[in-house]
Chain A
Amino acid sequence: MRVQEKIIEGLLWLSAAITVLVTASIIWVLLSESVQFFSEVSIVRFLTEKEWTPLFAEKKFGIMPLVAGTFLTTAIAIAVALPIGLTIAIYLNEYAHARFKTFIKPLLEVLATIPTVVYGFFALTVVTPFLQSFIPGLAGFNALSAGIVMGVMIIPMISSLSEDAISAVPRSLREAAYGMGSTRLQTAFGVMVPAASSGILVSVILAISRAVGETMIVAIAAGQQPRLTLNPLVPIETITTYIVQVSMGDVPHGSLEYRTIFAAGMTLFVFTFLLNNLSFWIKKKYQEKYD
């Protein structure tokens, strides 16, 4: 009996330990291939060259155009999702009836369950033609419509996390504001949002991290032309799209071209890892404590 209990506990422990193994494998895979990549291409070239053309005859290995593309689509997505998501969070907390809230929250979550390849189709075939009708210079592939659609996708992420943060602020603070004669709007922006600021910040950081790693929307709608630009109207390429582009072609395993996707993946991993841990740190350090 005791032996059996110990064996079961051991197996359960093993299952939990596998998660550490997964992290270790990810880091090992990215590092080992990147190290070989950087033995052929200096890290200075990688960080400072202004062109990314590893698949061409004349190879340039500057990651900056891919980073710029990723940054651009992410910035557009956040510019769409933050104002809308935060307004929804405030509206549901300060204005809406409890019954409306329980009805609308699952509906908003539907936005997050749609597969991203479907959003990509939407960006390419609906949003881009629509935007082209009043932005004449808009190319068929562009960062703008990919970013906007990505923003729609992450609205529920910002709204639900921010809403949790705002509803964790104690009632007494809200009632004190009302007692001073504030309107709901003044209460929201004068008291509730500042009190929940760390939680709202965490929601935004996690949304950024999600947008940086998003692949299919940008692969379908933003183009495959690495370009060091902040112009949202022209085709660009993100880090994730580049990895997809190489995976679709027939680059031989073990070649320098093959290793570029691991160097690009390493860059992506570092970004999202830093963002995620920044959010954990803020959550732990600045968690508002009320009694």
Chain B
Amino acid sequence: MTMELVCPAGSPAALTAALEQGADAIYLGLRNPTNARAFPGLNFAPENLRLAVDAAHARGKKIYLALNTYPTSDQMALWKSSIDIAAEAGVDALIMAEMSLLDYAIRHHPGIPRHLSVQGSATSPAALRFFHEQFGISRAVLPRVLSLSQVERVCEKSPVGIEVFAFGSLCIMVEGRCQLSSFVTGRSPNCHGVCSPAEYVHWEELPGGRRRVRLGEVLIDEFDAGESASYPTVCKGRYRAGDTPFYALEEPTSLNTLELLPRLAQAGVVALKIEGRQRGPAYVGSVTRVWREALDTLERKEGFVVRPQWQEALAHVAEGHQTTLGPYHRSWH
């Protein structure tokens, strides 16, 4: 079975790039806090969502809507009305994590497939059974924590198709279980759809070309002149345990699983997700092109070899210009 290539779009231009370069499905968010990339200037107003669905359907491709944040009791109307908007626009699936929203969707729009978001933190067949039995999900996106052999075993026993992250920025924490951003800023991926939001980021220029970056009051990192500086998410800062500051949690790198493609296909993974709704059309276009080519190559069954130009193109757009196999590779743990 061919694995579906699911690509991100935070804007109509990114959507066009993904469609032109061969995405099978594109996932989007509405322009409100109902999704985990609720960044200023990003995402789709309801009328743009309808246009996006039309554009994708005209090419025989699909649109999935991410509604994967967690509303508190007094916010539920916005999330539910967003589900209604998605249904009206004719999206092909809803990507959700929150139980009451899954429940709402199955009751009010049972015809729209429900995918469990990575934010649902489901890492075992038992957790997947829970969402399948309770809310009839048809697919689940696994958190970026399992090793490849664990992914293989989950695929064997899962009641639903499994989608995994193939490329992009690497959340090293179990998604849906990380409060590092809210600890410092009060704003979290779970509740606000943001991580280390830009309005809390302060750069300081120091003598000699050194730079410091803070999130709120907290010093996340300091860079030498000419050292490439990354976005200050808490998990990618340098801290001290002894004398020398080090990346205590993770280096600024991107996940890249190109070389695992044959094993992911063999495991029965049904879809590959490219991270990056916050990235521009150039990123979306070049990453989609590489993965389309790779998947088509795999499909021809003529022996799959990762081409150097693919890796070059991906490294060029990767965070920190470095890539890693991340949790799929046991040594990462």
* Bound together: no
A interface with B by C-beta (< 8 Å) = none
